[in-house]
Chains A and B, each alone.
Chain A
Amino acid sequence: MKAIKVENLSKAYQLGEIGTGTLSNDLKRWAYKVRGKDDPFLKIGETNDRTTKGESNMVWSLKDLDFEIEQGDAVGIIGRNGAGKSTLLKILSRVTSPTTGSVKVKGRVASLLEVGTGFHPELTGRENIFLNGAILGMRKKEISRKFDEIVNFAGIERYIDTPVKRYSSGMYVRLAFAVAAHLDSEILVVDEVLAVGDAEFQKKCLGKMNDVSKSEGRTILFVSHNLSAIKELCQMGILLENGKLSNYNSIDIVTQEYLQFDHQKSKYTHDRSKINKLGFIHKIDLFSYEKKITNSFKAETISYASIKYEIVKPTKYFNIGFTISDTFDTHLYSSSDTDKLTAEQLIEIRQPGLYNVIAPIPLYNLNSGNYKITFIMGEINTTLFDSVEIFFSIENNNFLNTGNRTGILLSLNKWQYTD
């Protein structure tokens, strides 16, 4: 059974300042509309690529989306910044209306674009639970029925009759999420709300959302940049690219494509204008131990990055290096071309020119999952010349029957029984 059906959905936004010099444009548009013509400021086919300047100052944030979501599915929406994820959620939660097309929905939609919308600092936790619940669409009776559950989940029983302005920010967020998590809706739309709160609470939120989707059979749409969270929660994924639907498939395939896509993008088209013109990274390829270009590696191997870079002026204390971090941005490993150099070699001046270097990336003991490798080059501790981010994943099939082990590090060794 379908829960959501999106047909031909597009949304246009006006760039630049609104209110100055727009009155004449407004009149012009109105005149076109009266004569039954298309809006002269909406050029068809202009895509929303924020890095290039367009001709018109209207831009399509979403363009011709068509998809259906089955009831009970948990769908992750991924894409780079500005791909249209939030716009899509805003339309689904009726905060703004589409420019063309329609969305058909079965059941009640509860949206959580922000935690704690409508909380009033002067009111107590108890009063705010009722107020926030009602804003999210609950009846008073419903809230009373779930009140204890909400307070329990938030874990703030002691502070329930204290104004929320006295709460710590963590408590505030806990309470806010608790209210939203107890909504009785068939469809739950969640924007990146888990970026707040401590790790324990984030886990609790994810767990609650998991319950909601798996045991209660409700439909979830979830936007996040945290790919491991998305993978854990969702079975299906939607990849948006410049306002268009790029892929709608099982979450593994979609995240794979996203990483691939990001890999290519970051390799060739990072924004050159923003960095100082002292040096550039021209090209980075990641190789597996079999010398294949890829960004998906086997655990317990060593892979390599082949880097081509350019230095513009003679540079003292030059170095190029990389750090590997997980999806929570925890640094796991870093390495640089100055590692293991002698003191004399270190202060040697680098001459301008093109350089090719192979950097080893040891993956012996990283667990399977998604990682990010960030290459940076510049003068040590002073000037950054250029940087490139590439996402990659590590697969492993060490653990027959039992599924993966958790944690960042891979379990490598066999256990020994003694007599």
Chain B
Amino acid sequence: MQPINSKKMPLQNAQDESWDLEIKPQNNLFELHLADVWRYRDLLGLLVRRDFVSFYKQTILGPLWFFIQPLFTTIIYTFIFGNLAGISTDGLPQPLFYMAGITAWNYFADCLTKTSTVFKDNANIFGKVYFPRLIMPLSIVVSNLVRFGVQMLLFILLLTYYYFTGANFNITFYVMLFPLLVILMGIQGLGIGLIITAMTTKYRDLAFLVTFGVQLLMYATTVIYPLSTAISKYPKYAWIIEYNPMTTIIEGFRLGFLGEGSFNLQSFLYTSFISVLLLFIGVIIFNRVEKTFVDTV
């Protein structure tokens, strides 16, 4: 027997017994076809474009709709949590405090919920043509990044407004961490989403938990309250919030842009480790399911 499964590109007149591709029942667990994903990078771009363009086609306000949701949520939170419930915002202007939390949280939540249905939503196209399946969830994360970018613009507008009206906040050196925080959020959302979508192709039960679970998770994250308040009010249970990897990110985000929040290297490393681990597990399970999900979805 000649060696098989040489990973060469086609278009070269190789020997008779060298094959470009071998289709087998179960591949190695760690064979992730990342080279394939790279080869299809143009598709990723086009899918992102499709999502963006089809979102505002035939609307009057167009991309402005990206602003509406965070804007109104901020207003509602300011009324309810800020004024009615009187939850502390560490002395920051309430709208700024909430919008910072909401903008960051939304990116994570969107990545999670949208990737968690990727098999179900794309069953038709996945059943008809092969491309590295990972492209789909990746395109969702990137699409949401565009959306997040637009919403950051709104946040920065608000920030500028408060700056000129002389509100009590200051941008700190930690703002340099911003790109890293965004990447970590994307990785976490993607990782959890991949795990959920892979687990729901056959048994859909988990899917019902997702929207509801994301809501609950938000209250275990420092979106509507600062970590310092949580620690002082519930010293016994605050560890739940502290060990939530999203807390580190939202706190770091606020510390960078608003000067109030918390950051320490230990929890940052912990969060990074958890995020990468989630992504790693997610990608492996996803690849495992991808090969036969067409038969069971």
User: Using a CB–CB distance below 8 Å, which chain A residues touch chain B?
Assistant: 1-2, 5, 13-14, 18-19, 22-23, 26, 90-109, 111, 113-114, 117-118, 120, 122-123, 127, 130-131, 134-137, 139-140, 163, 186
Contacts and interface: CB of A to CB of B under 8 A. Distances in A.
Given A102-B23, A122-B54, A122-B57, A95 B40 contact: no
Contact of B295 (A13, A104, A123): A13
A135 B23 contact: no
A136 B129 contact: yes
A131 B47 contact: yes
Interface in B173-194: none
B45 to A, nearest CB: 8
A95 B297 CA distance: 13
Nearest 10 A/B pairs, CB to CB: A94-B130, A134-B43, A104-B19, A97-B291, A103-B23, A107-B10, A140-B42, A117-B128, A122-B54, A105-B21
Contact of A131 (B24, B50, B58): B50
A118 B125 CA distance: 6
Interface of B: 4-5, 10-11, 14, 16, 18-26, 40, 42-43, 45-47, 49-50, 53-54, 57-58, 124-131, 202-204, 291-292, 294-296
Contacts of A2: 16
Contact of A97 (B24, B49, B53, B54): B24
Contacts of A19: 202-204
20 contacts: A2-B16, A19-B202, A92-B23, A94-B23, A96-B291, A97-B23, A97-B26, A98-B24, A104-B19, A105-B19, A105-B22, A108-B10, A108-B20, A114-B128, A117-B128, A127-B49, A139-B42, A163-B57, A186-B10, A186-B11
A124 to B, nearest CB: 9
A249 B95 CA distance: 75
Nearest to A87: B295
Contacts of B53: 122-123, 127
Contacts of A123: 50, 53-54
Nearest to A90: B294
B24 A102 contact: yes
A91 B21 CA distance: 13
Contacts of A106: 10, 14, 18-20
**Which among B130, B203, B291 has the greatest number of chain A C-beta atoms within 10 A?**
B130
B61 to A, nearest CB: 16
